[in-house]
Amino acid sequence: MVEAGPVLEWFEANARDLPWRRTRDPWAILVSELMLQQTQVSRVVDRLPRFLRRFPGPPVCAGAPLAAVIDEWSGLGYNRRAVSLHRAAACMVAEHDGRVPDGLAQLLALPGVGPYTARAVRVFAFGLDDAVVDTNVARILARTQGRSLKPAEAQRAADAMVPAGSGWHWNQALLDVGATLCRPGTEPDCGRCPCRTACQWALAGCPKPDPAVGSAGVSGGQSTFVGSDRQGRGRLVRTLRGGPVAVSDASAAMGWSDDPRRTERVLATLIADGLVALEDGVLALPA
């Protein structure tokens, strides 16, 4: 079992200064967590304050046109997260008096909110002693136990490690250890890691295979962006921010003038995701 003392002491001396750590506002925490999904920290640091100025709470976000939320999300990638956030805000207005709930089941019922995000809101906004398991924490769990873990095992292991009354500091500490020391592949800095004395993988000399590879919650990395469907989706949404586009011009906007079948297939996913509206042969951001 990883000892809390060394980890918390390390965090006190080495904590990253991140804007979402300076607030306990549940809405700000929820927005930051959704932004951080598959988006670089540096980009979220720049964009979060601007988003919160424009949409300072669920009622303002829910009352704004979806197109405005998508527009403000531009450049953060995975635009369907903006759709989910707008829908979640509407749910909070309708069911929770315009506030972010603190119950796990209530949070999980919100569009776009999964197990990690729900627990992150409970911990970082409400100070509860849940355990959050992102790819960095999942890597620590697998390595300290010296074996690949299944999802339920990883969550149980994380839950068992949280020191009572220190959920916020403990979880932030593990996130930083995973992000800066317990790195993937051949990059871990075991010599400075506060978990090393309890890490079965490190104690064994870091043999191959790395138990974190394929373990529950550990990301395998994103697929190539250039030439992908994601790139075409992003191009069309970016074009629509400037105004409506005829369906006949969609292929050019997506960069696939020579592949109308691909355009048709990907356009259907954009419409299904609520990112694009189609009416009378014209595409536009949803109202």
Please identify every residue annotated as catalytic.
Answer: 33
Question: 271: exposed, middle or buried (C-beta count within 10 Å: 0-12, 13-18, 19+)?
Answer: middle
Q: How far is CA 5 from the centre of its chain?
A: 28
Buried b (16+ CB within 10 A) or exposed e, 195-207: bbebbebbeeeee
Q: Tokens for 276?
A: 């694009």
